[in-house]
Every structure is written in C-alpha cells, then in structure tokens.
Amino acid sequence: METNKVLSALCYFSIFFAGFIFPIIVYFVAENPHVKKDAKAALLSHIIPIIAIPFLFAGIFLDIGIFATGSGLPIFLLVTVGLFILINIIIVIWNVYKGIKVLL
C-alpha cells in the first residue's frame, strides 16, 4: 500500500488516538499536496467538536438562568447536549468514511 495513502488515512483515523496533533504534524512534514489536503481536512474536522464546547457550556448556564422553564425539565440543556452528541457522532463517522475512502 502506498505510504501517502496510509498517512492520509491516519490523519482521519487520528480522531481515535491523537486528536488534532497528528494532522498538524503531518501537514507541516508531508511534501505531497494530496496528503497536505487530507491533513488539513482532518484537522478541520477534529476542531469542529472543540468549537462546539462553548455552545455546550452556554446551554448549561443559560438553562440554569434565563431559559429555565420552571417545570423542572431542562429542555434547552437537553437539546444542547443532544446536538453536541450528534455533532460528535457525525464527525467520527465522517472521519472513518474519509479514512476508508482514502485507503481504497
């Protein structure tokens, strides 16, 4: 198997073992433009859940104060946590799909 394909696939699969560190290293070390493109795409997909974390905290704090319904059911918090989990699941599936696609 070609080394560039394996390196590109590992950038996507690194969501399981190295987070966004591995794609950054590959992006700066690799010379092949296709590998750089895959490392950049993998890095962006690894950063999306990190960007969603402030929205999760906003959901927690806003539900405690402003949006509290008084019924005891934290609806805004449940929706925020549900969206956060959904985003993470979609990102993991997308990374696995792209990693397999690069290998084939």
pLDDT at 4: 86
Angstrom distances, CA of residue 8 to CA of 88, 90, 100: 21, 19, 10
pLDDT for position 101: 92
- How far apart, in whole angstroms, are the C-alpha atoms of residue 78 and residue 67? 12
Residue ranges covered by each domain of the chain: 3-103
Contact in structure between 17 and 103 (CB atoms under 8 Å): no
pLDDT tens, position by position, 17-73: 877 788 999 889 988 899 999 999 999 988 888 888 887 787 777 766 655 555 566
Asked if the model's pLDDT at residue 81 lies above 80, the reply is yes
- Residue 37: its pLDDT value, please? 92
pLDDT at 93: 94
Relative orientation angle of helices 21-29 and 3-13, to the nearest 10 degrees: 150
- Confirm if 91 and 48 have CB atoms less than 8 A apart: yes
Rounded to 5°, angle at Cα 57 from 23 and 21: 10
pTM: 0.78
